[in-house]
Structure 1
Amino acid sequence: MVKGLRVSMLLLAVLGSLAWSFSAKANFTGKLTVEIDGLKNKEGQVCASIFASSEGFPSDRDRVLQKQCIKITDTPLPITFDNLKAGSYAVAVFHDQNNDRILNRNILGIPSEGFGFSSNPEIRASAPKFSEAAFLVAGPNTNIQIQLKYF
């Protein structure tokens, strides 16, 4: 009887421990560090927006999960996003040389400031799809690099 009680207690302890670790992992929040490389100069700031779905990616300000603009102090320039749940995300960045928080374009609609996306997809006639820029946050620290493009 005592041996059966010990086995039951041990089994409960193991199951409780497993349940706690699974729930702790499912509820974690991670930190994303985006390293911006390829800046043409240190004028202005860099603005980065993170999206959690394809809705609004890459330019709908109402669909942005987190956004920040930071002064260029160093190259490459790190930007950090905190409190991200496990999942798929995409980041859009631009070099806001005139500090107006808008990706300026020329008369033909071509960006006149540097820009880039997570996963560094090939840029064709339009912005990439969310799936082309998506990456996974699955741990406490995720690091990605974005190479800016200028036309």
Structure 2
Amino acid sequence: MSIGGTISISPAAHAGKSSLTVTIDGVNNKNGQVCLSLFSQSQGFPNRQDRAVAVKCIQSGDVSRGITFGNLEPGSYAVALLHDANSDGKINTGFLGIPKEGFGFSRNPQVSNGPPSFQDTTIVVVGQSTTQIRASYL
């Protein structure tokens, strides 16, 4: 099937569910866990895990194998990463709300005054998609 003459999507890929595999780079130690929150809309992004489509965590030492979200509807998604080094289930912050733990976002946007917008981090997921997130530490 051709859409607008520029993008082709096979009928099999269009009819089925999609998946997103996230590879993770830059985690600076093996303490705690790395959690990814997958969002399909801006509401709650990036730190309201209760608003996420899915949340998956793995031990920090296992990040080299990546994390896959399956059974997704094709569409736009954003991913927020937290290196929860002390495994307390939240991002710990210091003075002025500056994160003490590692974080990251799909599309790896520059972070200056607060988290990036949902629009700045969205990726299109169709079929078997992949993306890479680099952990940042302040």
Task: State the alpha-carbon separation in 1 of the partners of residues 18 and 55 from structure 2.
Answer: 16
The answer on 1:144 being equivalent to 2:131 is yes
Cα deviation for residue 25 of structure 1 reads 4.2
> What CA distance in whole angstroms lies between the structure 1 residues aligned with 2:63 and 2:40?
27
Counterpart-to-counterpart distance in 2, 1:107 and 1:123: 17
The number of residues matched between the two structures is 129
1:58-137 equivalent positions in 2, closer than 5 A: 58-137=46-125
Q: After the TM superposition, which parts of structure 1 deviate over 3 Å for at least 4 consecutive aligned residues?
A: 24-27, 74-77
Deviation by residue 1:59-84 (Cα, 9 ceiling, x = unmatched): 12231100011112345350111111
- For normalisation by structure 1, the TM-score amounts to 0.80
Gaps of 5+ in 2: 1-9
Greater Cα offset, 48-57 or 25-34 = 25-34
* 2:56 partner letter: Q
Q: In 2 relative to 1, CA 65–75 (structure 1 residues): closer, same or farther, beyond 3 Å? A: closer
| Inter-partner Cα distance in structure 1 for 2:31 and 2:104 | 17
RMSD over aligned CA atoms reads 1.5
On the 8 A contact 2:60/2:83 being kept in 1, the answer is no
SS at match of 1:108: helix
Whole-Å separation in 1 of the counterparts to 2:129 and 2:80:
16
% identity of equivalent residues: 47
Equivalent residues of 1:37, 1:77 under 8 A apart:
no
Q: Is the CA contact 1:38–1:76 (under 8 Å) kept in the aligned structure 2?
A: no
Taking the aligned partners of 1:25 and 1:31, their CA distance within structure 2 comes to 11
Mark the structure with the bigger radius of gyration: 1
Indicate if the aligned counterparts of 1:115 and 1:148 stay in contact, CA closer than 8 A: yes
Residue identity opposite 1:114 in structure 2: G
Higher helix share: 1
Shift of residue 138 of structure 1? 1.3
